[in-house]
Structure 1
Amino acid sequence: MGDFGFKDTFSSITSEALLEALIVVVAASFLIMLMQRLIPAFAGKVGGKIRLYLLASVPLLRLLIIVLTIVTVVPILVEPSFENMVAVFGALGLALGFAFKDYANSLIAGIVTLYEMPYRPGDWIEVNGQYGEVRSIGTRAAEMVTLDDTVVVIPHSLLWDTLLANGNDGTDNLMCVAELFLDPNHDVARIQNLFRDAVFTCPLTKTYQPVIVTVSASDEAMRYRLKAYPLEPREQARFISDLTARAAAVCANEGVRMVSRQLIAPA
């Protein structure tokens, strides 16, 4: 009883069994690597919802391959009896619990992520002040690429106690906002209508989605916010720049002075 049955559990392991298990693990690893390269590459050539669906399938397929690999390898190494399975998975659970506590925490959070899907590959999210597109979701962490092309690694364990903002939530609709601050002495209704027309003239605007121009007043300036949806979420930086330039051109044509945001006193 001193060895808890481990000697009998692993007595069936032979060099042939180890070689067979190694072949299965190598084949599964190669399949995962191939899948993680081909699917995103193909998704990059298509747009819209198809791209998002393809990117979202990568972590699910990877998890499926890992589970099937474990289910295949364990019976090769250990005689598949109830006692042996309890001994193997019990020992594995204890090892993970003590030696890889933080990793196991992120791993469990990763499984929850795949189930609840608070973010998926292709989603634009903000976590701890970092904003970008989710490029991939691993078992421990997700990779996000910011607008400045910086890769940020987000451990899944952050899900437990961190607020997460998702801009498009698995769709290809991502609202963008261009802000301008204007001198208060102007025809607000006219400028608001001209800004709205300018948004529709932008070739990147998804015209079948709502286009909204809001305005609010302060002592120093009128704050305009041009809200619209780009054709592709990845075009958001260029889209906001284009809207800002078009709105600035409207101001120049109408003789309305733009005010620097830095000159506006905080409320």
Structure 2
Amino acid sequence: MNDTADTLNSQLETVLAMFEASNLLMLVAGFVVLWLINWMIRRTATGLMDHLPTRRFTILQMTTLVSFVLYIGGTAFLLITVLNPPQEMLLAVGGSAAVAVGFALKDVAASLIAGIMLLFDRPFQVGDRVNFEGVYGEITAITLRSVRLQTLDDNTVTIPNARFVTDVVSSGNMGAMSMMVVTDFHLALDADIEQARSIVREVIVTSRFAYLKQPVTFAIEEIVLTNRVVIRLRAKAYVLDVNYEKAFQSDVTTRASMLLREAGIARPPSA
């Protein structure tokens, strides 16, 4: 009994020594330093992106990876070096914590593991334009727990990482600066399709947002629109930078519609 009591007292003293006020202050200071380092990295990355816009995606991806390593590695380093727990306690606490996290925080743990999988599997990257369950926008950050997506209406949507492991997500550019933009024009059945296609092509190739190293293609088919059969002229072209997606589409739509009207190309009635 005495041996057991001595052991318990010794373990209690060890735990109390680990959580002395000085150690707790060092932990808080260490976490503040981690946050400041991460803030400085992101601020530096923002400045680099302003000076090197063509490397924007690479800088964003590297910043995300560094943040992962910093928070995970830094937290483990602080706990081990500051608290300095005995090896037996470290193993016991680690095992217990793993079980507790697995049951109590299974959703968070799943998102954390999914976040690591996203970094290596890379179904999309920071800077990509993606569509996830009807939400379309640009991936601005991949964090330990979630992915932040900024819509074209400037709303920020936060999605748990685990959702991307099982659900379908489409990426429009997969890390590239350029991206295909699809613009539809509807014509009457008796419209001059070749002339309309020529007009739309001319508008696209003269747009300052167009990426002309990629081909401009068209798909033409009959569809039903408001109970009428019409011709859909679908133009597929690449924009120079994903940030110009809507500007490019607006430019093409505005100028092409005006030229089609001036050329007398028949359009479907509005009602």
* TM-score (norm: length of structure 2): 0.86
- 1:139 aligned to 2:144? yes
Contact 1:9 1:87 in 2 (8 A): no
Question: Which of 33, 44, 65 is the aligned partner of 2:39?
Answer: 33
How far the C-alpha of 1:68 sits from its partner, in A, is: 2.5
> Percent of aligned positions with the same letter in both sequences?
27
How far the C-alpha of 1:69 sits from its partner, in A, is: 1.0
Question: Which of 217, 220, 230 is the aligned partner of 1:221?
Answer: 230
Which residue in the other structure is 2:248 paired with? Answer: 239
How far the C-alpha of 1:148 sits from its partner, in A, is: 0.9
Contact 1:78 1:84 in 2 (8 A): no
Superposed CA RMSD: 2.4
* Map 1:76-115 → 2, pairs under 5 A: 76=81, 77-79=83-85, 81=87, 83-115=88-120
How far the C-alpha of 1:108 sits from its partner, in A, is: 1.3
Contact 2:127 2:139 in 1 (8 A): yes
Which residue in the other structure is 1:128 paired with? Answer: 133
How far the C-alpha of 1:213 sits from its partner, in A, is: 2.1
Deviation per residue, 1:113-158 (Å, 9 max, x gap): 1221222221101111000001112111111111111111111111
Contact 2:181 2:249 in 1 (8 A): yes
Contact 2:196 2:265 in 1 (8 A): no
Q: Which of these two proteins has the greater Rg computed from alpha carbons?
A: 2
Distance of aligned partners of 1:15 and 1:254 in 2 relative to their CA distance in 1, 3 Å threshold: same
How far the C-alpha of 1:86 sits from its partner, in A, is: 1.5
Which residue in the other structure is 1:169 paired with? Answer: 174
How far the C-alpha of 1:78 sits from its partner, in A, is: 2.8
CA distance in 1: counterparts of 2:111 and 2:233, whole angstroms: 42
- Aligned AA for 1:18? L
Contact 1:186 1:256 in 2 (8 A): yes
CA distance in 1: counterparts of 2:77 and 2:90, whole angstroms: 13
Deviation per residue, 1:6-53 (Å, 9 max, x gap): 7587365143333333322221111112223331353245322x0010
Distance of aligned partners of 1:192 and 1:9 in 2 relative to their CA distance in 1, 3 Å threshold: farther
Distance of aligned partners of 1:203 and 1:88 in 2 relative to their CA distance in 1, 3 Å threshold: same
Question: Which runs of 5 or more residues in structure 2 are unaligned?
Answer: none
Question: Which runs of 5 or more residues in structure 1 are unaligned?
Answer: none
- Aligned AA for 2:37? L
CA distance in 1: counterparts of 2:42 and 2:96, whole angstroms: 31
Distance of aligned partners of 1:6 and 1:134 in 2 relative to their CA distance in 1, 3 Å threshold: farther
User: What's the secondary structure of 1:203's corresponding residue?
Assistant: coil
Question: Which of 21, 27, 30 is the aligned partner of 1:15?
Answer: 21
How far the C-alpha of 1:163 sits from its partner, in A, is: 0.7
Count of residues paired in the alignment: 259
CA distance in 1: counterparts of 2:219 and 2:200, whole angstroms: 10
